[in-house]
């Protein structure tokens, strides 16, 4: 695949070198995949586009992590950096392929994930169930998923108890788990590393400081695309 000369001139010199030497850098990569990934490296140009779905600051990297997903299956609100919609978009695709396989999307939450997930599920028309610890979230965090049509279960336990319950349920019925245990959540987080490289003109920095909770970002950064 040859890049148009105008596009090449807009790219940093280091990226032009990377594109030119791609076969040498990744000799074992299948040619179609290498071509698609190389094309995705023009995201520094794409960021100015609003063509679906590249108006999203995260979906502009979609070829790096979810190469097979069609644009028609993507659920996007032209968002910034958030990750639950990767799971929602994949669910949208799975529901089309097999309508009976995935019926509902669910998560355990202390308020933030449930709000985000309910918003994207509402956009895609996918039913959602939220497992929340009673009296441990704010009123706004409770109202937002309800206002987006999600079924909200307020449970007399903490987050770990909610997480244990939703994990047990999703193993028995066709409900899709959208918590960080879902590998698709980690797939999205890879795009942070890609964006760091893009901002450094594709030069790998010596150090990257990453905030840690369950260390999903660390795993995503380490795990190659």
**pLDDT tens per residue across span 104-153:** 889 999 988 898 889 888 888 889 999 999 999 899 889 999 999 999 99
Residue 97 sits in the same domain as residue 63: no
Angle in degrees, 0-180, between the axes of helices 183-199 and 84-97, rounded to the nearest 10: 130
Q: In what order do the strands lie in the sheet with 175-177?
A: 151-155, 128-133, 104-108, 175-177
Virtual torsion, Cα 50, 80, 151, 71, nearest 10 deg: 40
What integer pLDDT is reported at residue 70 of this predicted model? Answer: 80
What integer pLDDT is reported at residue 85 of this predicted model? Answer: 53
- How far, CA to CA in Å, does 2 sit from each of 8, 16, 32, 42? 10, 12, 13, 12
> In 3D, which of 102, 118, 88 has the Cα closest to residue 173?
102
Residue 99 sits in the same domain as residue 150: yes
What integer pLDDT is reported at residue 1 of this predicted model? Answer: 39
Residue 38 sits in the same domain as residue 89: no
Residue 56 sits in the same domain as residue 124: no
Sign of CA dihedral 191, 86, 223, 23: negative
Block means of pLDDT (10 residues each) for the chain, 225 residues, are 43 43 44 50 49 69 75 73 55 62 84 87 88 92 92 94 94 86 75 82 86 77 69
Query: Number of structural domains, the chain?
Result: 2
Residue 110 sits in the same domain as residue 170: yes
How is residue 29 annotated by DSSP?
S
Residue 167 sits in the same domain as residue 210: no
Residue 165 sits in the same domain as residue 209: no
What integer pLDDT is reported at residue 2 of this predicted model? Answer: 41
Residue 118 sits in the same domain as residue 76: no
> In 3D, which of 80, 78, 88 has the Cα closest to residue 117?
88
> In 3D, which of 184, 83, 74 has the Cα closest to residue 124?
74
Residue 133 sits in the same domain as residue 168: yes
pTM: 0.59
CA–chain centroid gap for 80, Å, is 11
Residue 88 sits in the same domain as residue 72: no
What integer pLDDT is reported at residue 224 of this predicted model? Answer: 58
Residue 131 sits in the same domain as residue 197: no
Q: What is the domain extent for residue 69?
A: 5-80+183-222
Q: How many residues does the chain have?
A: 225
CATH assignment of the domain containing 136: 3.40.50.1100
Residue 94 sits in the same domain as residue 162: yes
Q: Which H or E run includes 154?
A: strand 151-155
- How far, CA to CA in Å, does 15 sit from each of 2, 5, 46, 65, 221? 14, 14, 15, 19, 20
Of the CA atoms within 13 Å of residue 170, those in its CB half-sphere come to 23
**pLDDT tens per residue across span 15-26:** 444 444 444 444
How many whole angstroms separate alpha carbon 157 and alpha carbon 133? 5
Please state whether the peptide bond connecting residue 161 to the residue before it is cis, i.e. omega within 30 degrees of 0.
Answer: no
């Amino acid at each position: 695949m040859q890049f148009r000369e105008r596009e090449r001139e807009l790219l940093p010199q280091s990226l032009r070198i990377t594109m030119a030497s791609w076969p040498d850098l990744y000799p074992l990569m299948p040619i179609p995949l290498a071509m698609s990934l190389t094309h995705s490296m023009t995201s520094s140009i794409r960021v100015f586009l609003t063509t679906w779905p590249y108006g999203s600051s995260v979906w502009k990297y979609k070829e790096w992590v979810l190469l097979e997903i069609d644009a028609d299956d993507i659920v996007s609100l032209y968002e910034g950096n958030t990750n639950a919609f990767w799971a929602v978009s994949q669910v949208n695709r799975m529901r089309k392929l097999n309508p009976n396989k995935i019926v509902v999307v669910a998560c355990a939450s202390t308020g933030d994930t449930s709000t985000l997930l309910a918003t994207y599920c509402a956009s895609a028309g996918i039913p959602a169930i939220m497992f929340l610890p009673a009296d441990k979230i704010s009123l706004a965090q409770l109202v937002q998923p309800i206002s987006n049509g999600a079924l909200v279960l307020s449970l007399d336990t903490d987050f770990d108890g909610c997480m244990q319950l939703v994990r047990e349920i999703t193993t028995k019925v066709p409900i899709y788990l959208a918590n960080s245990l879902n590998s698709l959540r980690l797939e999205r987080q890879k795009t942070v590393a890609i964006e760091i490289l893009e901002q450094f003109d594709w030069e790998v920095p010596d150090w990257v400081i990453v905030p840690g909770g369950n260390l999903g970002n660390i795993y995503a950064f380490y795990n190659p695309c």
